[in-house]
Amino acid sequence: MPSLTRAEATARAATVDVQEYEVDLDLTTGGETFGSRTVVRFGAREGSSTFLEFEPVSVVKMTLNGSPLPESALVDGRIELTGLAASNELAVEAVMRYSNTGEGLHRYVDPADGSVYVYQHMFINNAGRILPAFDQPDLKASFRISVTAPGSWRVAANGPLVSGRDGRWEFAATKPISTYLCSLIAGPYHEVTDTHDGIPLALYARAALAAELEAEAPEIFEITKQCLDRYHEIFDIRYPFGHYQQAFAPEFNFGAMEYPGLVVFRDEFIYRSAVTESEREHRATVIAHEMAHMWFGDLVTMAWWDDLWLNESFAEYMGTRIAAEATRYTGTWTTFAMQRKAWGLRADQHPSTHPVAPAEVTDTDQALLNFDGISYAKGAAVLRQLVAWVGDEAFRAGVNAHFAAHAYGNATLADLLSALSESSGRDLTAWADVWLRRAQVNTLRSAVTSDGSRYTSVVIEQSAPDAFPTLRPHHLGIGLWDRRPDGTVARRKLVEVEVDATGRTEVPELTGEPVADLLLLNDGDLTYAKIRLDDESNAAVPVMLPLLGDSLARAVLWAATLDAVVDGERPVAELVTLALAALPAESEVVIVEDVLRATRSLVDRYSTPETRPAALELVAQAADRLLAASEPGGSRQLAAARGLIGATVDTARLGDWLAGREVPPGLAVDDDLRWLIVYRLAVLGAAGPEVIDAEFERDRSATGEQWAARCRAARPDAEAKAAAWAAIISDATLSNRLVEMTASGFWQAEQLDLVRPYVARYFAEMPAMLRIRTGMSAERTATAAYPDVMVEPETRELAARLLADDDLDPILRRVVLDADDDLRRALAARS
> How long a stretch of residues is the chain?
831
| Active site (annotated) includes residue 617 | no
- Which of 126, 133, 137, 132 is closest to 101 using CA atoms? 126
Q: The sheet that has 16-26: what strands, in order across it?
A: 67-68, 58-64, 87-97, 33-44, 16-26, 142-148, 168-171, 161-165
Task: Exactly one of 290, 312, 316, 779 is catalytic; name it.
Answer: 290
User: What are the sequence ranges of the domains in the chain?
Assistant: 6-293, 301-435, 716-831
- Spatial separation of the C-alpha atoms in residues 644 and 14, rounded to whole Å: 59
589-606 and 635-647 helices cross at what angle (nearest 10)?
A: 10
pLDDT, tens only, 484-515: 988 889 999 999 999 999 999 999 999 999 99
Quick check: 559 and 545 in contact, CB under 8 A? no
Q: Do the first three CATH levels of 6-293 and 301-435 match, i.e. the same topology?
A: no
| Burial (CB count <10 Å: 0-12, 13-18, 19+), residue 43 | middle
How much is the pLDDT for 581? Answer: 92
How confident is the model at residue 647, as a pLDDT? Answer: 97
What pLDDT is stored for residue 782 in this prediction? Answer: 97
How far lies 160's CA from each of 18, 157, 200, 228, 296, in Å? Answer: 21, 7, 10, 19, 22
CATH architecture, domain 6-293:
Sandwich (2.60)
Contact (Cβ atoms closer than 8 angstroms) between residue 272 and residue 329: no
pLDDT for residue 2: 84
Q: Are strands 504-506 and 455-463 parallel, antiparallel or unpaired?
A: antiparallel
| CB 638, CB 666: distance < 8 Å | no
Cα torsion angle, 130, 132, 135, 139, sign:
negative
CA atoms of 200 and 193, how far apart (whole Å): 8
CATH for 301-435 is 1.10.390.10
Residue 593 region by backbone torsions, left for phi larger than 0, else alpha for psi between -120 and 50, else beta:
alpha
Q: How many CB atoms lie within 10 A of CB 722?
A: 12
Question: 33 forms bridges with which residues in the sheet?
Answer: 97
pLDDT < 50: residue spans in the chain: none
Q: Which among 311, 364, 306, 305 has a CA at the least distance from the CA of 53? A: 364
